[in-house]
Amino acid sequence: MQHINVTMKRLLLYVVGLFFLSLGVSFSIQANLGVSPVSSLAYAFSLSAGFSVGMMTIAANMLFIVLQVVLSKRLIVREAIVQLIIAFLFGFFMDFTLYLLQVFPAPETMAMRVLFLIISLFVVAVGLLGYTSVKFPLMPYDELTAVIAEKIKWPVGQAKITSDLLNVVAAGLVCLISIGSLGAIGIGTVIAAYFIGKILGVLIRHFREPLLKWVYRNHPELQKDTIAIQAENAVLKEEVTHQNAMQKKVSSSEDVQSLS
C-alpha cells in the first residue's frame, strides 16, 4: 500500500508536469515570437501540413523514437511503447491547452506578445520540474538526447545543446520549404533555449526537495531506497566505463607489443 500511494503521487506530479509543459509551449505559440526548441519541429510540421499541433507532436515524437533505434541499433519494444503513450498524452495536452488559451484574446501588441513569451518560460520550467523530478520515463525527444550522449560519448548537457540545435535547424528548413519563412523559429526560440534552463535551475534548488518530501511523506524509507538505487547505478556505470577504458588501454598495449 505504501508503494501504491507513493507511486500515485509520483504519477500525479508527472502528469501535471506534462500538462504545464504543454501549457507553456502553447503560450509560446500564442506569443508568435518563436516556439521553444523542443516543440519547434512539431510546430513546423503543423504549419506546413495543416494538422493540429498535438497530432504533429505525436508524429515528431514517433520520428524521435525511430532515430533512437537507428542510433542505438537496438529496439526495446516495452520502452518504445511507453514513450509512444507519453507522446500521445503530451500531444493531447498540446491541443487541449491551445484550446483553453482561446479564452484569452490573441496578443496583438508587442508588449502582450512579450508577456505571453515570459509566461511561457516560467510555465515550461514548472512543467519540467514536475515532469523530471519523479524519475519516470522521459519523452522521446529527451530519450533521444540521452542516446546521442551515449553514442558520441558526450556529456548530456552538450548533447542537449546539439539535439536542440538540430531540431531548430530541421524546423527552420521545413518551414522555409513549405511556407517560405522561418515560421516556428524566432527570437522567442533563442530566448527559450537560454532562459528555461536557468529558470529550471532556480526552481530545482528551491522546490524539488519540498516536492519530493510531499511525494514520500510518511514513507521516507522509499525515497532513501530510490536514492540508494540511483547512486548504486551511477557507481556501476562509472565502474563499467572505467573497465572499458582500461581494456582499451590493455588491448592497445598488446597491439603495440605484437607489432614490435
Confirm if 60 and 46 have CB atoms less than 8 A apart. Answer: no
Q: Cα–Cα distances in Å, from 22 out to 86, 91, 239?
A: 12, 8, 38
pLDDT at res. 20: 95
What is residue 200's predicted lDDT score, i.e. its pLDDT? 85
pTM of the model: 0.78
Q: Please report, for the chain, the start and end positions of each structural domain, with discontinuous segments joined by +.
A: 2-218, 222-260
Q: Report d(CA 240, CA 253) in Å as an integer.
A: 20
Positive or negative, the Cα torsion across 207, 211, 216, 217?
positive
Predicted pLDDT at 136: 83
> pLDDT (tens digit, 9 = 90+) per residue, 79-88?
889 999 999 9
Low-confidence residues of the chain: pLDDT under 70: 1-4, 156-157, 218-260
